[in-house]
Amino acid sequence: MSDTRTIAIVGCGRISPRHLDVIKEIPELKLVGVCDIKRERAEVRAKATGAPAFTDAVEMVKNLKPDLVSVLVESGAHCRVACEVIPYTKNLIVEKPMALTLDDADRLIDTCEHSGVRLFVVKQNRYNKPVVKLRRALEAGRFGKIALGTVRVRWCRTQTYYNQDSWRGTWQDDGGVYANQASHHIDLLQWMLGPVESVQAYTATRLVKIETEDVGTAILKFTSGALGIVEATTAARPKDLEGSLSILGEKGSVVISGFAVNKIETWNFAEPSPEDSDLAAWSVNPPTVYGFGHLEFYKDLLECIRTGKRAMLDGLAGRKSLELVIALYQAAVSRHEVRLRYVPEGVPLGRGQTK
């Protein structure tokens, strides 16, 4: 097929089977290589897919020159690995978060821009059917003035999970529940309610032995005046409970629950709409916390490549989400409110001369 594009995977850990399953479902994509610094991991994925295995990412992409490269390594290595493969591809996919520091995020964005490479950051929950429906209602003004937005992540990650790899639960390469598991949900809250003015946050490490947090709570103040709440933990026992999002406004309330933000629990609006009658079709809980969004994410990025349209989840969107996560950590460390928006005082530019 003339429209077929080649893709290679760098990182064959926990998330890689989800990406590989999705790639297999899309006729436009042809997997040409899998890579992991641990040869046994790469060989397992190679055997399952029929693609050759590599242990050196640069060697793989330099030889194969794939149209797309998906970087699925540990978060702390996202920027380094991505920048190494950029010269040998035109489209780069990076799992969340795109980096663990804003300097690395900026370096990745700049390197892609200067090399003419399109950057896509994985935030697959934006493509969940209930989330899409909620976004449409929000854009249609059905909520009126927003009062409160809340996300809750109550998942189970035991010590066994963190012991799988030495980087898990470390500050240098992973982060805690804010940066890892809840980063999707924090992104959704900001995407729905708009720019954040300031945050206050707390973290704790309660049930596992890691450097970072397994419990976090935060209060967000949006520039619109709405407030937000983040409740995130990997200390739910004995299994995952929920990954939810709720929006409350003057004309309506919506709660999306399930354990992967995939189930419409509440859909109440003061003014009915024909769209309110088909809720069941938009509410399907997936078999895992990864949800169904990866497939739509890949389809959308392929459409962006074909048409040249701007991606919803480009580097700037990924950076914006990362900035909020880092602000939560700063608030937790400092025990003070942290502002994300600089507000000039006494500057006449754009306002006229003040008297």
Task: Return the HEC string of 176-209.
Answer: CCCCCCCHHHHHHHHHHHCCEEEEEEEEECCCCC
Q: What is the pLDDT of residue 1?
A: 41
Give bridge partners of residue 263 from the DSSP assignment.
Answer: 257
CATH architecture of residue range(s) 128-269+315-339: 2-Layer Sandwich (3.30)
pLDDT for 89: 98
Task: Count how many residues are written for the chain.
Answer: 355
Q: What is the chain's percent helix, strand, coil content, to nearest 5?
A: 35, 25, 40
Residue 3's pLDDT is 83
- Tell which residue, 88, 50, 96, has the closest CA to residue 69: 88
Give the pTM.
0.94
Average pLDDT of 142-155?
98
Please report, for the chain, the start and end positions of each structural domain, with discontinuous segments joined by +. Answer: 5-121, 128-269+315-339
Radius of gyration for the chain, computed over Cα atoms and rounded to the nearest angstrom? 21
- How does pLDDT run across 204-261, given as a tens digit for each residue? 999 999 999 999 999 999 999 999 999 999 999 999 999 999 999 999 999 999 888 9
Quick count: other Cβ atoms within 10 Å of Cβ 144?
13
**Cβ distance 189 to 220 under 8 Å?**
yes
- DSSP codes joined into one string, 104-143: HHHHHHHHHHHHT-EEEE--GGGGSHHHHHHHHHHHTTTT
CA dihedral 137, 139, 140, 144 (to 10 degrees): 80
Give residue-wise pLDDT tens across range 55-82.
999 999 999 999 999 999 999 999 999 9
Residue of 255, 263, 207, 273 lying closest to 235 (CA atoms): 207
Q: What is d(CA 172, CA 226) in angstroms, rounded to the nearest whole number?
A: 33
Amino acid type, 348: P
- Provide CB contacts within 8 A for 144, sequence distance 6+: 249, 250, 251, 252
pLDDT tens sequence across 291-318: 678 999 999 999 999 999 999 999 999 9
Q: Which residues pair with 264 in a beta bridge?
A: 256
Q: Is 326 helix (H, G, I), strand (E, B) or coil?
A: helix
DSSP letter for 75, please.
G
Q: What CATH number belongs to 5-121?
A: 3.40.50.720
